[in-house]
Structure 1
Amino acid sequence: MTQTEREYAELRALPRSERLAWVQRLFPDGAPPQWWLAMVESAEVGVCRARNISYHERREGFEFAVSLLHDACESGGMSPCYSASWLVRLTTIALDVGMSPEDLPSEVTPDGVARLVLDRLPLSQAEVSSVNALFLDDLHSGRERYYQPGDDLTLIGQRANGRLRLLQEILWVVPALECVVDRLSDEQLVGEVRGWLHCIAQLD
């Protein structure tokens, strides 16, 4: 058993209320994003079609995966948008393996995950278009907004934070909704999701 497998097994065995404290003991300075990603990937593998497990075991696996993503987001190990993109992935798996939405956390049902994604988007559609236009203007003019010759290279990431980073998060998660939009039951929600998909598709 690898270290990752051992840590995943220990985390999975803990009651929900004790997991974040266990993670903090393991990583006093905070668990790195790569560790959270390894845990979430393990949880995803645990519920996929290739796993020969019972319906009940798979349902428990989805419940654990959802709680794991909440913990990753709450602790800062994953951004709200990035963790939402994983919930969309889990939703597509749940559809693939035939899970009943009534047996799952709402976050991994089509309507539930779509609402969650839309709630977590940090910019409006107008802001997305504006930030993207600014980025393209810089790109085409050869302007570097975050770096000038002689600057400290370690500061570039800090300067790039802000709306451009938020745009990148949106571009990561919104296209994933294409996988669930045809399974939505709320017509208003369908319209909102298609509106966002159209917005992203219009960006150069």
Structure 2
Amino acid sequence: MAVFESLDTSLSPLLDVAEIQRRRDFEIGVEFFRRAVAVGSIRPPMGACWNLRLAATALRFTPTVEGLSRILTPDGAAELALNRMPLSRDRALVESKARQEEYLAAGEDFFAPVGQAIPVVREADNRSSALQDVELILSALPLVSPSVESENLRRDIDAWLKIRNQL
């Protein structure tokens, strides 16, 4: 978060910065998130989410920042994000329904005890994590979706956004 906040500040359209510096800051952001995913510091969907946010920031510039890599275009960022979806749309709906049913059927032991220490459990709930990753990407996808040019990509995005409120 700190790195993104720093990037977000340095990439403000309100700052009077040379275009070469601005382009370099965008590319540093892309490289940072790419490496964070590569070494396992963040999950690929999280990297895709941050990339969507960088691409959305790039859209705020008039005139546009020239020479940015494709991954910072709305089409490139959306394509990366959709490729990082850990579940299909159908599977995401099934997992969401299962999560809701578990929550509604949960007893008192489902919730953390008030006023007591809770043990740290290192093993992740992969199903829940995958669904959260889908929701994370879907939270950022609308930032660039209006600017996507590819019709095929637009159809995929619209299909995902159509089920967003069902998750």
Do the aligned partners of residues 119 and 79 (structure 1) sit closer, same or farther apart at CA in structure 2, a change above 3 Å counting?
same
Q: What is the aligned partner in structure 1 of residue 26 from structure 2?
A: 62
User: Residue 193 of structure 1: CA displacement?
Assistant: 0.4
User: Residue 153 of structure 1: CA displacement?
Assistant: 2.9
Indicate the SS of the match to 1:167. Answer: helix
Counterpart-to-counterpart distance in 2, 1:52 and 1:125: 43
User: Residue 101 of structure 1: CA displacement?
Assistant: 6.8
Do the aligned partners of residues 101 and 127 (structure 1) sit closer, same or farther apart at CA in structure 2, a change above 3 Å counting?
farther
8 Å Cα contact 1:47/1:61 also seen in 2:
yes
TM-score of the superposed pair, with normalisation by structure 1: 0.72
Indicate the structure with greater helix content.
1
Higher relative CO (CA 8 A, sep ≥ 6), structure 1 or 2?
Answer: 2
1:124 corresponds to 2:88: yes
Counterpart-to-counterpart distance in 2, 1:45 and 1:189: 30
Q: Match of 1:198, as an amino acid?
A: K
Q: Match of 2:25, as an amino acid?
A: G
User: Residue 154 of structure 1: CA displacement?
Assistant: 2.4
Q: 2:57 aligns with which of 72, 76, 93?
A: 93
- Residues 27-59 of structure 1: CA distance to partner in whole angstroms, max 9, x if unpaired? xxxxxxxxxx32232223221213220112111
Give the number of aligned pairs. 163
1:186 corresponds to 2:150: yes
1:110 corresponds to 2:74: yes
8 Å Cα contact 1:59/1:104 also seen in 2:
yes
Indicate the SS of the match to 1:48. Answer: coil
Q: What is the aligned partner in structure 2 of residue 140 from structure 1?
A: 104
8 Å Cα contact 2:23/2:66 also seen in 1:
no
User: Residue 140 of structure 1: CA displacement?
Assistant: 1.0
Q: Map of 1:1-20 to 2, 5 A cutoff?
A: none
Do the aligned partners of residues 120 and 105 (structure 1) sit closer, same or farther apart at CA in structure 2, a change above 3 Å counting?
same
Counterpart-to-counterpart distance in 2, 1:102 and 1:142: 53
1:79 corresponds to 2:46: no
- Residues 93-121 of structure 1: CA distance to partner in whole angstroms, max 9, x if unpaired? 10101364751111110000000000001
Q: Match of 2:30, as an amino acid?
A: V
TM-score of the superposed pair, with normalisation by structure 2: 0.87
CA RMSD, 1 decimal: 2.3
Q: 2:120 aligns with which of 138, 154, 176?
A: 154
Q: What is the aligned partner in structure 2 of residue 45 from structure 1?
A: 9
